[in-house]
Amino acid sequence: MKTSKLSLLLIIAFTLGWMCQYISLPLIDLHMIPEPVVFNGAGNMISEDVFDDDSPGSTFVSTSRYPVRSCETNNTYVDFSSVLTAEQHVRVNNCVSTYKQDFEDGLVKARANQELRWSIHSYLNNNSFMIEAGGHKGLDVSEFNSRYHPGTYIVLEPVTQFYNVLKDKFKSSPNVVIYKFGVDVTDGVFYVNEDNNDGANIFAKKHSGKETLTAAKIVKVSRFFEKLYIMKRDVDLITLNCEGCEFAILDLLLSTDYVHHFRNIQFQPHNLPSLCYPIKRFCWYQELLQLTHQQKFQFKFVWESWSRK
């Protein structure tokens, strides 16, 4: 009996050894992963050039768990429809069908309660780590920074005019780190009309007419998160008002484990012609976000905020 057991163990050991020769499994030494970069007033920050580096990321998240598809505009989106239950599909269809009225109601409520998107985040303090996509002229940066003084406040603003405004306005705020690029599913550029750039969005890909257009930079959002070592830290708040890039960011969050590293997610969805199915995707997000977060407020299709459970 002892001999039989020994023979069986030898067979198992040989089989496992043989399999290891032919099955390539990446071995990750967690001790070799760099510690998260610390941002502080002394200037210990990531240079913007780092985000151009396409070397393997430190967080080992590069693909989504769900199908990535394209639509007639040649943009891409993550297809979450396959993971929804029949009951969820009913709610999504109802959400899509009531879009027009909900959007109009949301606009009215948002205008009457604008301060809520700042005041509701009283948990922020000088140890907080914050990201804002779409800094524009600095309204939200001013409100958040003056109220809570977060320890690190990263702001993305790709439009030169607004970037310069932000750099000047917050030159005495060392905790505010401003990068001159936007984010999307891939690297690239978009074009900004220098005479009318308030609604500049990442989908303006071509020169047209006699307008004076300037190229603005886009960084792949997955690399942006990788270079910030998001998988090794928590983001206390990400707030998104970036004329369409919120869809790329939410697709990534909700199709990977990144979503668990964002304590609070706030966004303004945009219904732009170049986006793939923005209304339906927004309605998908409503179903998926509630799996990990709870809604703090909503002006439907205008502004909303979710807090991790």
β-strands 264-267, 293-299 pairing: unpaired
168 found inside a domain: yes
Average pLDDT in the chain: 84
18 found inside a domain: no
280 found inside a domain: yes
pLDDT-based confidence at residue 58 (cuts at 50, 70, 90): low
3-state secondary structure of 238: strand
- The pair of structure tokens assigned to 201 is 């969005």
Report the predicted TM-score, pTM, of the whole model to 2 decimal places.
Answer: 0.82
254 found inside a domain: yes
103 found inside a domain: yes
2 found inside a domain: no
How far apart (Å, rounded) are the C-alpha atoms in residues 179 and 173? 14
212 found inside a domain: yes
Q: Which residue range(s) make up the domain with 224?
A: 71-308
For the chain, what is the domain count? 1
pLDDT-based confidence at residue 32 (cuts at 50, 70, 90): very low
61 found inside a domain: no
In tens, the pLDDT along 106-159 reads: 999 999 999 999 999 999 999 999 999 999 999 999 999 999 999 999 999 999
The percentage of the chain sitting over the pLDDT mark of 70, rounded to a whole number, equals 76
CATH of the domain at 303: 3.40.50.150
Of residues 28 and 216, more confidently modeled: 216
Helix %, strand %, coil % of the chain (to 5): 40, 20, 40
